[in-house]
Structure 1
Amino acid sequence: MGRGASIAALHSDLRWGRFSSWLSGAVMGVVRKRACIGLVLALVSCGSQESQVGQRPNLLFITTDDQRFDMLGVVHPFLETPTMDRLATEGVRFENAFVTTPICAASRASLLTGMVERTHRFTFGTPPLAAQFVDQSYPVLLRQAGYRTGFIGKLGVATEPGATDAMFDSLSVMAPPYIRQQPDGSSRHLTDIAADQAIDFLRAAEKTRPFALTLSFNAPHADDNDDRQYVWPQAMDQKYAQVVVPAPPLAEPAFFEALPTFLKDASLNRVRWNWRFDTPAKAQRMTRGYWRMISGVDAAIGRVLGELDALELAANTVVILMGDNGYFLGERGYAGKWLPYELSIRVPLIVFDPRATRESRGALPTQPVLNIDIAPTLLDLAGVGVSRTMQGRSLVPILGGAIPPDWRSDFFVEHLFDVPEIPKHEGVRGERYKYARYFEQEPVYEELYDLLMDPMETRNLAADPAHFGTLTELRRRTDQLQTQYGGPY
């Protein structure tokens, strides 16, 4: 049986149960669940806005590491994230948010600069992010406009000596191990330390100068050097202890065995799967650990938002929450990210603006939005001109309920990290079809998926004559965007 036939047969025979039905529905954007409005955000939305008229807003940009789009309580059947849920139900949650490169280094450079990897050229193993891009990053432009800028947590982007001095008034870079000994002999989790430092930053706020704080949690990224992999705060020890984690969809050996050789055992996705999910008991333990880390981040964010309220800063502080890339939890026989599939590139994105009208709260825009849209959005919220070098667009019109008629209908996806275990790829994700080509394979290996009919991307249509026209058009579109962003790699 050929590869296409075997996968088609597998697709027709798969029975994923409750968990996979939820996941497939989430990929299609049809899951709807509303959480109760929390006290802190209710107080914020009811606060006096007249006193804020004419003031530039404070900006709190929160990033998480390896939190994919469906890892929020408002869409997940087990996960508990009450703070994130309140932000979503009182703010705007974008149902189709993506990163243009699914790896932290390149994606975080894109968050800073508003540019795709093909343009800024930064990822692991490359020279530092060039000064010409740093100079047009959102922290530099906000600081030049009078904002007090701070960064706490995982930076993940190498810069030239002295570059961060122009970016941040306050910088505290953090990395695992997650459990840190304190001066008094106690231990504290890195997530809680980041929240502690964020609270200190807020307490030092100046009444006459707005702030822009990036709070960048390392969690829920695994600690690759720790056998436990997922290391959570002690307060989360018992959470999910009674939950039986359902088997992930596409975890059947037959699906993995039907993949091309370069996407199988030599792939870093499979190597990391062996670390984390190769036995049922390990998969249960690791997935619960991943969930606990997310719940730990949620609790830390709740402390930070509570301090904003206590300091009477909440009514004029816009909060943005976004993941830096998606994640596999055993789906497709994989762990990690890196590849162009939905679970790897699709992320949570929530914007809470306390100044927004009550009618706009709880909105669920469906337009495709990207990590490269964050920098222009932050600048636009601050009333600062958006650099012409930025390739993303401000989300402010969508936050206000508008549907820009010229909004994108597709976007470029790529991965250029030069390591044999992660194959380079480039392509286009459109409203219905996704195209990817692994351009260093001989011959070039192509994938084409119909996301409407096949949201879990199980049937590669690239060799199907009935889809040759779509394949040809998406090849052309990939070439066009590749040229626009910097040319062949």
Structure 2
Amino acid sequence: MKLIKILHLALILLPFTAISQSDSSERPNIVWIMLEDWSPDLSCYGTKGIETPVTDKLASEGVRYTNAFCTSPVCSTSRSAMLTGYHQNYIGAEQHRTAKEEKKPLPFDIKPMPLLLKEAGYFTSLSIYNKTDANFSGDLGFMGKDWKERKKGQPFFAQITLGGTHRAWNRDPKNPIDPSKIELPPYYVDTPFARRDWANGLEQMQVCDREIGDILHRLDKEGLTDNTLIFLIGDNGRCHFRGKQFLYDPGLQVPLIIKWPGHVAPNQVNKDMVQTIDITATILDVAGAKPEHPLQGKNLFKEESKNRKYIFAARGRMGGTHDAMRAIRSNKYKLIHNLMPERAYLQYSGYKEDMYPMLAEMNVMNLEGKLNEDQAKFFAPTKPEFELYDIVADPYELNNLASAPDYGDLKDEMLEELYVWRRSINDKGVSQEFRKGGLSSKYPTRTLEEWKERYEAWKPWVFRKPKEKVKHPFVKKNY
């Protein structure tokens, strides 16, 4: 029996061969391609209506993860965690858009990943869309904007962010998407307006797919592909309400594809529950960079990252919108603890109201009593303190089991594990000052007539043609 277990473990680890600075004279280059605000809405993940041939090919050449999650559902907090390998609360970076004057140095003598790579001899670059969004002060360690600036023979780390998938989105003139071909989650209304908005986002990803192709082509042209470890990920979940900024799977789940010729076998699909801070740990291990403070992420190429029982996530302030949520998720269940249940999910957020067309349409329909029960849940004036979902039976997270007697023991067990995790990351919870602060929590945020006016203002933008220049109704820029 013991021999069988050993053989099974060998088969699990066979696709990966990690190297370290000590056993290789030629460490790999590392290219980290980051999509803004993007869930696994790609054709290789089964999303309907979209065509992403470059990404699909990349996935076929390596491993595609189907259960990868960020630690926080918005860019600055999620990226702060990824830049360091620690949960954002642990390093004091949990509040989105921390003002420059409020940012503090990292605690515990923690150094950002690019700085550790620089100290380990790598050339580090921040390319194309120079966004770091770190909620802390100090040197991040980036040395330039392009790997061509490195010394001859020097390995490089390139963080490349593709910003197109962040709202507002461009139409795809080469391959417009027929809205009848897409599939909307049931918590959205199924209208021509909603379908076109969803399809517009998928079209933008098609544009980004070709940009990914340009990056990969350059690596090939420069003869770098064979010794380059490539990660393709999203920084947080999709840019729709009930996605980004919230702890449901569409806000936390991201694509994760890894290619490393000669080290990662092709055509793999990995179902392990992993988190984006694991990428940080993997990169530092592969590069032979040694953090002084133990990382909270785990190397994806080692057994330590496999067979997790739970992943964890947290949400704090979103700009001036105060709220706080924590989540624990297993392969089958998720428990969300809303620390400020007195506030509406959709309390005022200028970002959401100025960037999410469907929010206007559904606010109109909600105030007119035209939403069904599942659609109306997110427009409630308050939240339940706890939400418990059977992810397998209820993948859209609509049937809250937190008060169901048969699930009481499960809820208690997961809540205790969540408390243990919160203590481990120094989670300070919610102060009375925070609870009372921020923008107005009055709900609904606008009258029916005001929402109707915004809905009409959105229509020319949402229904614009692929090459048509239309002024965004709430952003001072033509697209």
Normalising by structure 1, we get a TM-score of: 0.69
Please report how far the alpha carbon of residue 421 of structure 1 lies from its aligned counterpart in structure 2 after TM superposition: 4.7
Please report how far the alpha carbon of residue 77 of structure 1 lies from its aligned counterpart in structure 2 after TM superposition: 2.7
Which residue identity lines up with residue 481 of structure 1 in the other structure? W
- 1:84 and 2:55 correspond: yes
Structure 1 pair 406/308, CA: closer, same or farther in 2 (3 Å)?
closer
Q: C-alpha distance in 2, partners of 1:109/1:134?
A: 15
- 1:168 and 2:113 correspond: no
1:304-453 matches, cutoff 5 A? 304-327=215-238, 329=240, 334=241, 336-356=243-263, 360-397=265-302, 403-404=303-304, 407-417=307-317, 421=321, 423-442=323-342, 445-453=385-393
Q: 2:111 aligns with which of 126, 136, 140?
A: 136
Q: C-alpha distance in 1, partners of 2:108/2:97?
A: 18
- 1:210 and 2:155 correspond: yes
SS of residue paired to 1:84: helix
Partner of 1:478: 418
Q: Deviations over 1:259-280 (max 9, x none)?
A: xxxxxxxxxxxxxxxxxxxx83
Partner of 1:296: 207
Structure 1 pair 93/65, CA: closer, same or farther in 2 (3 Å)?
same
Partner of 2:459: none
- 1:156 and 2:133 correspond: yes
Q: 1:145 aligns with which of 115, 120, 126?
A: 120
Structure 1 pair 429/440, CA: closer, same or farther in 2 (3 Å)?
same
Structure 1 pair 212/386, CA: closer, same or farther in 2 (3 Å)?
same
SS of residue paired to 2:387: strand
Q: C-alpha distance in 2, partners of 1:471/1:416?
A: 22
Please report how far the alpha carbon of residue 448 of structure 1 lies from its aligned counterpart in structure 2 after TM superposition: 0.6
Structure 1 pair 135/149, CA: closer, same or farther in 2 (3 Å)?
farther
Native 8 Å contact 2:110 2:293 kept in 1 = no
Please report how far the alpha carbon of residue 204 of structure 1 lies from its aligned counterpart in structure 2 after TM superposition: 3.8
Q: C-alpha distance in 2, partners of 1:251/1:95?
A: 22
Native 8 Å contact 2:245 2:318 kept in 1 = no
Structure 1 pair 56/251, CA: closer, same or farther in 2 (3 Å)?
same
Partner of 2:449: none
Please report how far the alpha carbon of residue 219 of structure 1 lies from its aligned counterpart in structure 2 after TM superposition: 2.1
Structure 1 pair 81/405, CA: closer, same or farther in 2 (3 Å)?
closer
1:37-116 matches, cutoff 5 A? 54-116=25-87
Structure 1 pair 475/74, CA: closer, same or farther in 2 (3 Å)?
closer
Native 8 Å contact 2:277 2:298 kept in 1 = yes
Structure 1 pair 241/479, CA: closer, same or farther in 2 (3 Å)?
closer
- 1:231 and 2:170 correspond: yes
Q: C-alpha distance in 1, partners of 2:387/2:242?
A: 20
Identity of aligned residues (%): 27
Q: C-alpha distance in 2, partners of 1:282/1:418?
A: 27
SS of residue paired to 1:170: coil
Q: C-alpha distance in 2, partners of 1:134/1:107?
A: 20
Structure 1 pair 345/422, CA: closer, same or farther in 2 (3 Å)?
farther
Structure 1 pair 131/478, CA: closer, same or farther in 2 (3 Å)?
closer
Gaps of 5+ in 2: 1-22, 343-382, 430-479
Which residue identity lines up with residue 161 of structure 2 in the other structure? S
Q: C-alpha distance in 1, partners of 2:180/2:384?
A: 41
Partner of 1:249: 185
SS of residue paired to 2:217: helix
Bigger relative CO (Cα 8 Å, ≥ 6 apart): 1
Which residue identity lines up with residue 194 of structure 2 in the other structure? A
Native 8 Å contact 1:113 1:134 kept in 2 = no
Q: C-alpha distance in 1, partners of 2:188/2:271?
A: 32
SS of residue paired to 2:411: helix
Please report how far the alpha carbon of residue 407 of structure 1 lies from its aligned counterpart in structure 2 after TM superposition: 4.1
Q: C-alpha distance in 2, partners of 1:158/1:476?
A: 29
Partner of 2:408: 468
CA RMSD in angstroms, aligned pairs only: 2.5
Q: C-alpha distance in 1, partners of 2:271/2:411?
A: 25
Partner of 1:194: none
Native 8 Å contact 1:66 1:219 kept in 2 = no
Please report how far the alpha carbon of residue 392 of structure 1 lies from its aligned counterpart in structure 2 after TM superposition: 0.6
Q: C-alpha distance in 2, partners of 1:304/1:238?
A: 19
Native 8 Å contact 2:77 2:135 kept in 1 = no
Which residue identity lines up with residue 169 of structure 1 in the other structure? M
SS of residue paired to 2:165: coil
Please report how far the alpha carbon of residue 436 of structure 1 lies from its aligned counterpart in structure 2 after TM superposition: 0.8
Structure 1 pair 72/283, CA: closer, same or farther in 2 (3 Å)?
same
Please report how far the alpha carbon of residue 73 of structure 1 lies from its aligned counterpart in structure 2 after TM superposition: 3.9
Which residue identity lines up with residue 365 of structure 1 in the other structure? N
Native 8 Å contact 2:328 2:334 kept in 1 = yes
SS of residue paired to 1:474: helix
- 1:457 and 2:397 correspond: yes
Native 8 Å contact 2:242 2:248 kept in 1 = no
Structure 1 pair 469/61, CA: closer, same or farther in 2 (3 Å)?
same
Q: C-alpha distance in 1, partners of 2:108/2:176?
A: 43
Native 8 Å contact 2:49 2:178 kept in 1 = no
Please report how far the alpha carbon of residue 206 of structure 1 lies from its aligned counterpart in structure 2 after TM superposition: 3.3
SS of residue paired to 1:298: helix
